[in-house]
Amino acid sequence: MTSALAQLAARLGVMPRYRDQTGEWHDTGPDTLSAVVGAMGFDTSSDKAMSDALAALTEEDEARKLPQWLVLEAECPGPMVDDAWQLTLESGELREGRGPLPALPLGIHRLSLTGHDTWLLAAPCRLPAPAAHWGLTLPLYGLRTAAQGGVGSYRDLAEVARGLAGQGAAFVGVNPIHAGFPDDPMAFSPYSPSSRRRFSTLHIDAGARPDDHGDLIDYASVLGAQKQALEDQWAAFGGDADFDAFVSGEGPALHRFALHQALSARHGPYWTDWPEALRDPLSSEVSEFAEAHGDAIRFHSWLQWRAEMQLAQVRHAADDMALGLYLDLAVGTHPQGAETWGDPDLFAPGCSLGAPPDAFSRDGQRWNLAPMRPLHLARSGFRALAEILRAQLRFARVLRIDHILGFERAFWVPENAPGAYVTMPKAALLAVARIEAARVGAVIIGEDLGNIPEGLHADLAASGILGCRVAMFEQDWNAAQPTFKPAAAYDADVLTSFATHDLATYRGWRRARDIEWREALGSLDAEVAARARTQREGEVSALARRIGGTNIGRLNGFLAGTPSRLVAVQAEDALAHIEQPNLPGTVYDHPNWRRRLGVAPQDLARHPGVAEAAKIMKTSGR
């Protein structure tokens, strides 16, 4: 490894080594360093090119009077600045002066000083903590029964929200509803979206009647029927002043997304397969396409309007809940979707987000999600993250950020090399989350499970961002035999649940169904699976002793009795399902994201399992 490569990588935040969850240390080799630095947009072909790049970055740093970004407390006096400054507030208002900066309103503002810009992130120091509440989490796609056919719609979700409000639930949570790939029936994972700044059209209630009545959702049938129904309604659409206002208000960002969708409908869902000239959103060929296909662009803008109108109805239906709609933010975006096409400088090509080796994945994981370049993110004032959060918080008052560990460090996996951790601007990212949540009074939950960097839990707590606790993992791992923590030992500033969408249901866990699946699929051999079953048997017995029984009511009573701010009951557990929604590490060999709940939306809140959970939560003071 050359000194120039090591120094440039260190300047860009690529960690030279890391320790995985098994305790093993890994050095970041030269091939990985070169691939990651190259994906950040730097020439690694020679020592001179890398030395020149490092010198340019150092020169810029030394020329600055202030760093590239600062986190300030909103509505409090700013720091002293000796030189003349120009301040552009987020609202567009321009101020000039010399000396101390004025108190800044909530938002992201730009300070120009001696030829350099500094982004001022004016945020509350801490988000207020919610009261003790509970809610139900469920898969939106699974809301319709086999007899009804299709997938759950936003209007189905509104009906569920009204019913759960009557049961005293404070929130209803669903999987990510980001814009997906409506022309690819195999791209149905909600955690691999095309764009997190726009919404899925799959869940628009368009009256589609797909020939899809199996226990598992047939996305090819669903997407075909949905597309036809929406196109028929667009053909009959006579115009609407509210739609025109929506298009005008969303401006160029909506136009570029809709342009991408129109190109996808013509050339295929993944832009890397398009004719080369169309892969650049600023090319003349793309401009010519836009001029020639104005109606198609308007159609895809209309789809977003329809989705947002129906999501507004969900928000309104959840008004009687203490919190309301709970949305989930995917950790990344598909490398060949609308988000990467529309903002190519932000994303690192040739690398994927992933995870280092652990007990379940000896070679680590590659998630096929595009990493954000931290340098570009900072130079653009963290605009992308703010827009992503703001889109979700138009409708949600609880937002779960998947794998919030990525706010501190992200694991980048190059195509032909082992992975490495890249340091992220944590303080800025947390400040942006506080800013966007404070605008609407929302609660932020950070999914902080896995290989946790030291100090991250404390940073989340200081920001008022709730963590996540999963009861099946809340054990004394130093004990000789499985021993679960008592309810009183749980953290307060967290959301607690028994499991997550990536883990076994309560019944499935007791039966070791997840272990059965992994053995059947070959990820566990017979010997390892047998040891895992023995361990599980001990855990099942230990949890039963802790909660005083085996039925789901005992489990819900235990969860309700923790000091955790929020408790989530999973619909699959309330309905006594055995199979889990998703089995990590699989794509199509396990029916991920295809299982129905088996209860119609209008009946879900009244289901005996849900009603019993609601009664237990109410009795416990939630």
Q: pLDDT per residue over 207-262, tens digit each? A: 998 999 999 999 999 999 999 999 999 999 999 999 999 999 999 999 999 999 99
Residue 509, classed as helix, strand or coil, is helix
Q: Provide the percentage of residues in the chain whose pLDDT is more than 70.
A: 99
Q: Summarize the chain as % helix, strand, coil (round to 5).
A: 40, 20, 40
Summary count for the chain: helices (H), strands (E):
20, 21
Q: What is the mean pLDDT of residues 268-276?
A: 97
Place of tokens 């869940």: 203
Q: Which helix (H) or strand (E) holds 123?
A: strand 116-123
In the predicted model, is pLDDT for residue 439 greater than 90?
Answer: yes
pTM: 0.96
Q: How far apart are CA 76 and CA 257, in angstroms?
A: 37
Buried b (16+ CB within 10 A) or exposed e, 275-304: eeebbebeeeebeebbeebeebbbbbbbbb
Q: How far apart are CA 521 and CA 515, in angstroms?
A: 10
Angle at 154 between CA 150 and CA 157, to 5 degrees: 95
Q: How far apart are CA 263 and CA 266, in angstroms?
A: 5
Across 13-27, 40-54, 472-486, least confident range: 13-27
Q: What is the mean pLDDT of residues 465-474?
A: 97
In the predicted model, is pLDDT for residue 200 greater than 90?
Answer: yes
In the predicted model, is pLDDT for residue 279 greater than 70?
Answer: yes
Alpha-helix runs per DSSP H in 167-293: 219-235, 241-267, 284-292
Asked whether 465 and 442 are in contact (CB, 8 A), the reply is no
Asked whether 302 and 296 are in contact (CB, 8 A), the reply is no
Burial class (CB in 10 A: 0-12, 13-18, 19+), 109: buried
User: Which string of DSSP letters, residue by residue, matches 38-72?
Assistant: HHTT---SSHHHHHHHHHHHHHHHHH-SS-SEEEE
What residues pair up with 59 in beta bridges, in sequence order?
Answer: none
What does the pLDDT read at residue 82? Answer: 87
Q: How far apart are CA 386 and CA 106, in angstroms?
A: 13
Q: What is the DSSP letter of 279?
A: G
In the predicted model, is pLDDT for residue 460 greater than 90?
Answer: yes
Q: How far apart are CA 223 and CA 229, in angstroms?
A: 10
In sequence order, the 6+-apart residues with CB closer than 8 A to the CB of 461 are 467, 493
Asked whether 496 and 490 are in contact (CB, 8 A), the reply is yes
Angle at 152 between CA 150 and CA 156, to 5 degrees: 130
In the predicted model, is pLDDT for residue 1 greater than 80?
Answer: no
Q: How far apart are CA 533 and CA 541, in angstroms?
A: 12
Expressed in angstroms, the distance from the first to the final Cα of the chain is 57
Q: Which two tokens stand for residue 603?
A: 């009946």
Quick one: how far is CA 44 from the chain centroid? Answer: 32
Using 50, 70 and 90 to split pLDDT, how confident is the model at 562?
Answer: very high
Place of tokens 């409000």: 165
What does the pLDDT read at residue 451? Answer: 79
What does the pLDDT read at residue 359? Answer: 61
What does the pLDDT read at residue 408? Answer: 96
User: Which string of DSSP letters, residue by residue, matches 222-255?
Assistant: HHHHHHHHHHHHHHT----HHHHHHHHHHHHHHH
Asked whether 260 and 200 are in contact (CB, 8 A), the reply is no
Candidates 303, 330, 325, 55; CA nearest to 190 is: 330
| Amino acid present at 402 | D
CA-to-CA dists, residue 328 to 160, 398, 501, angstroms: 17, 9, 11
Q: What is the DSSP letter of 592?
A: T
Quick one: how far is CA 566 from the chain centroid? Answer: 19
Span 479-522, pLDDT tens digits = 999 999 999 999 999 999 999 999 999 999 999 999 999 999 99
Asked whether 529 and 519 are in contact (CB, 8 A), the reply is yes
Burial class (CB in 10 A: 0-12, 13-18, 19+), 584: middle
In the predicted model, is pLDDT for residue 365 greater than 90?
Answer: no
Angle at 302 between CA 296 and CA 305, to 5 degrees: 155
Alpha-helix runs per DSSP H in 112-153: none
Tell me the CB-side half-sphere exposure of residue 2, using CA atoms within 13 A: 12
Q: State the average pLDDT for the chain.
A: 96
In the predicted model, is pLDDT for residue 361 greater than 70?
Answer: no
Asked whether 334 and 340 are in contact (CB, 8 A), the reply is yes
